[in-house]
């Protein structure tokens, strides 16, 4: 062999242990060198078939196999379809030779195996996974805009059937713990220890000397049938309808391609199914959407989660006691995520009864987990035991991380922060959970400004993955580092933003929402505006979003922002003013907003008043303009923040927009949308200028972007 990426060890028991080990990387991936090693290893297996009775495939890394070479996939373009297809087919050929070797082959999955890494295991006759903490199995390619193209779709369909494959494995890209993968049916066994895993593998080889894949056994039929079956065919139209419902019209081709590859592949022989899978996968890989999603959701996200913005040279330091001041919705939820992460929490409010009501937030979530069998009662009690609900400020004594989470009232925040200093540890990090107020307005309330930092959580805290960390001019690097350590501990993705009013995410979401409200003011049909948002790829319509976050809050933020230099006003502001102050319809919490709501909070229809007050049938805003106005409004504001150093990196800007405000994932984020627009940055600026001339100066791009476009360069 030309390299040693797959080590060969033939034991006295006549079992070959193949150990994958890329010497140049911390994880095994589908590189050209690995493909060559795999091919040469299969050559040797075939040549020396008579010298062994079975094969165990495992890994020398902490993980089994990390999957495809995402840098290669991200950089593939329309001219690379033939090259990408050939690469996929090369893996398929080696995997097919492995599974038709005539000897039993077992995958001893000693850690995470995702994507191409799990496709390696699928080419084995038997799969045993080590029950290792943090280990994940599955085929998540669809979440990056592609599909499992090295046999993954085809084999999973033949293993468990079209419907379970699409719903539980390839259609939504679920990542599973070994126990769940066993339940779904994509592995055969789970082992508690590595020794047990290898013992099981050897025993299975001994018991199955003539092992073959199910689809290579005479008389095999795909579980659950194929479209040739009348019962299956009768239900088939529901599947594309469900995909359309899931995507809401967003331009994301991967889910539809996965479904097509699964259904089409189930109706033909294996080799033809492989060819169908390759065709769909290569076209996705070489398209722009997968480039955007891989860049943002893998490379940008990994850079952030590895601490790219964390000050260098400062040792990790985790909080030992967290004091949360204010047990309202935000404080209660912050207490929950902190306790789940194993941190002792003091949840303090003005009375113990108010604090206990805050603790009830955790009780309800944990009780639900126990009821669904996801957690034991003992584990629930252990987590709840970490939260001390109290009305006594003295109970916060010694806390080394304080998080103020009271109402968005400057004077109240000043009072609470000033009060805590005498009780907190001498070097405690003092954080304010604010959605808009700059830290500079609070600095005078603390004796140690270097320890003051902002933590902007997004609601609901237990579900939203982003955390904006606001670093003021006075904030020390050590305080910033400790805040990021806390973010990682509670499993949030932190982006670092500068200390300006409304920070980054709220400015971008404000621009997006304002543009939707401007279209309402212009006389556009409210339902069309909502549809434009979802077809652009936003998770919900802009009017729905405004109702959810409550317009009393957003109006207050908007007015504070309006007082500052650089604020770009729009027609949308007066709409929000009237909704709150004239019509008394601030949102879902109050049972009335842009939508009407049932007593239980269920959203009903759009409010009739929108049509009598604003809608004008003679106004025609082109639907494509509607979609692009929403996308461009957020992107232009993100560019302004980027040029003003409000957000420190393009990665932070992209991930902050996707995870914080639901900017469409297919774009790769607000700044990536600029770079990937048809015609590049020049095309984006030309279209922005067109929108500016038609609809207003909110589409005026910053000078830095215009200069980049003029030079024909990428912006971020």
Task: Quote the distance between the C-alpha of residue 169 and its chain's center.
Answer: 17
CA–CA separation, 260 and 153 (whole Å): 10
Backbone angles phi, psi at 449, to 5 degrees: -55, -25
Phi-psi region of 705 (alpha: psi -120 to 50; beta: other; left: phi over 0): alpha
- Pairing type for strands 126-130 and 175-176 reads unpaired
CA–CA separation, 608 and 585 (whole Å): 12
- Dihedral over Cα of 251, 253, 254, 257: its sign: positive
Q: What is the DSSP string of 444-457?
A: GG-S-GGGEEEEEE
Q: Is 119 a catalytic residue?
A: yes
Question: With 0-12 CB in 10 A as exposed, 13-18 as middle and 19+ as buried, what is 128?
Answer: buried
The residue annotated as part of the active site, out of 35, 99, 141, 637, is 141
Q: What angle do CA 435, 439, 442 make, to 5 degrees?
A: 110
H-run or E-run covering 55: strand 54-59
Round to the nearest angstrom and report the end-to-end CA distance of the chain: 43
CA–CA separation, 413 and 419 (whole Å): 10
Say if residues 127 and 188 touch (Cβ distance below 8 Å).
yes
Q: Is 196 a catalytic residue?
A: no
- The first and second tokens of residue 578, run together, are 């009237």
The residue annotated as part of the active site, out of 32, 35, 99, 119, is 119
CA–CA separation, 209 and 622 (whole Å): 66
Q: Is 541 helix (H, G, I), strand (E, B) or coil?
A: coil
- The first and second tokens of residue 186, run together, are 């994509």
Active site residues: 119, 141
């Amino acid at each position: 062999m030309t390299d040693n990426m797959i080590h060969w060890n033939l034991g006295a028991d006549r079992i070959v242990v193949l150990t994958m080990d890329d010497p140049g990387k911390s994880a095994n991936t589908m590189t050209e060198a690995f493909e060559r090693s795999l091919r040469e290893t299969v050559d040797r297996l075939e040549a020396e078939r008579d010298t062994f009775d079975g094969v165990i495939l495992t890994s020398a890394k902490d993980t089994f196999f990390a999957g495809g070479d995402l840098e290669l996939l991200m950089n593939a373009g329309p001219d690379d379809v033939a090259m990408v297809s050939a690469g996929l087919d090369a893996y398929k050929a080696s995997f097919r030779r492995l599974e038709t070797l005539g000897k039993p082959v077992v995958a001893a999955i000693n850690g995470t195996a995702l994507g191409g890494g799990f496709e390696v295991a699928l080419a084995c006759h038997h799969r045993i996974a080590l029950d290792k903490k943090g280990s994940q199995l599955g085929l998540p390619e669809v979440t990056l805009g592609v599909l499992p193209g090295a046999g993954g779709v085809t084999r999973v369909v033949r293993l468990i059937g079209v419907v379970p494959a699409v719903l539980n494995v390839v259609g939504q890209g679920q990542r599973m713990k070994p126990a769940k993968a066993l339940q779904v049916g994509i592995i055969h066994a789970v082992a508690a220890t590595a020794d047990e895993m290898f013992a099981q593998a050897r025993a299975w080889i001994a018991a199955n000397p003539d092992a073959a894949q199910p689809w290579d056994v005479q008389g095999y039929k795909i579980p659950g049938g194929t479209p040739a079956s009348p019962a299956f065919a009768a239900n088939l139209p529901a599947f594309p309808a469900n995909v359309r419902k899931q995507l809401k019209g967003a331009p994301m081709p991967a889910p539809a391609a996965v479904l097509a590859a699964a259904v089409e592949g189930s109706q033909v022989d294996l080799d033809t199914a492989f060819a169908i899978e390759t065709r769909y996968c290569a076209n996705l890989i070489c398209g722009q959407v997968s480039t955007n999603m891989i860049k943002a959701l893998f490379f940008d996200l990994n850079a952030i989660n590895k601490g790219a913005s964390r000050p260098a040279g400062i040792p990790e330091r985790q909080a030992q006691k967290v004091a949360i001041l204010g047990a309202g919705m935000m404080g209660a939820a912050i207490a929950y995520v902190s306790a789940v992460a194993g941190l002792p929490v003091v949840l303090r409010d003005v009375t113990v009864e108010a604090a206990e009501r805050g603790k009830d937030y955790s009780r309800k979530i944990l009780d639900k987990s126990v009821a669904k069998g996801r957690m034991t009662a003992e584990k629930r009690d252990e987590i709840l035991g970490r939260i001390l609900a109290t009305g006594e400020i003295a109970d916060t004594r010694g806390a080394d991380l304080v998080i103020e989470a009271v109402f968005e009232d400057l004077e109240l925040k000043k009072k609470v922060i000033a009060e805590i200093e005498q009780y907190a540890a001498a070097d405690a990090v003092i954080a304010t959970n604010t959605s808009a107020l700059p830290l500079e307005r609070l600095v005078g309330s603390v004796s140690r400004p270097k320890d003051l930092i902002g933590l902007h959580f997004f609601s609901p805290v237990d579900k939203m993955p982003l955390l904006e960390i606001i670093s003021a001019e006075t904030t020390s690097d050590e305080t910033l580092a400790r805040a990021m350590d806390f973010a990682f501990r509670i499993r949030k993705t932190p982006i670092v933003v500068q200390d300006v009013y409304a920070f980054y995410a709220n400015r971008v979401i404000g621009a997006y929402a304002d543009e939707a409200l401007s279209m309402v003011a212009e006389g556009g049909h409210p339902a069309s505006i909502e549809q434009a948002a979802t077809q652009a790829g936003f998770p919900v319509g802009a009017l729905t979003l405004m109702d959810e976050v409550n317009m009393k809050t957003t109006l207050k933020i908007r007015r504070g922002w309006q007082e500052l230099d650089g604020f770009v006003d729009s027609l949308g502001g007066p709409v929000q003013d009237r909704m709150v102050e004239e019509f008394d319809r601030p949102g879902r919490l109050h049972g009335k907003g842009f939508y009407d709501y049932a007593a239980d909070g269920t959203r009903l229809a759009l409010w009739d008043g929108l049509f009598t007050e604003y809608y004008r049938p003679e106004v025609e805003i082109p639907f494509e303009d509607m979609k692009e106005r929403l996308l461009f409004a957020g992107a232009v504001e993100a560019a302004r923040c980027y040029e003003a150093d409000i957000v420190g990196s393009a990665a932070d800007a992209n991930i902050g927009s996707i995870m914080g405000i639901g900017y469409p994932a297919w774009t790769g984020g607000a700044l990536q949308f600029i770079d990937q627009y048809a015609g590049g940055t020049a095309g984006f600026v030309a279209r922005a200028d067109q929108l500016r001339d038609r609809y207003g100066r909110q589409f005026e791009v910053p000078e830095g972007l215009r200069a980049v476009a003029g030079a024909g360069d990428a912006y971020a």
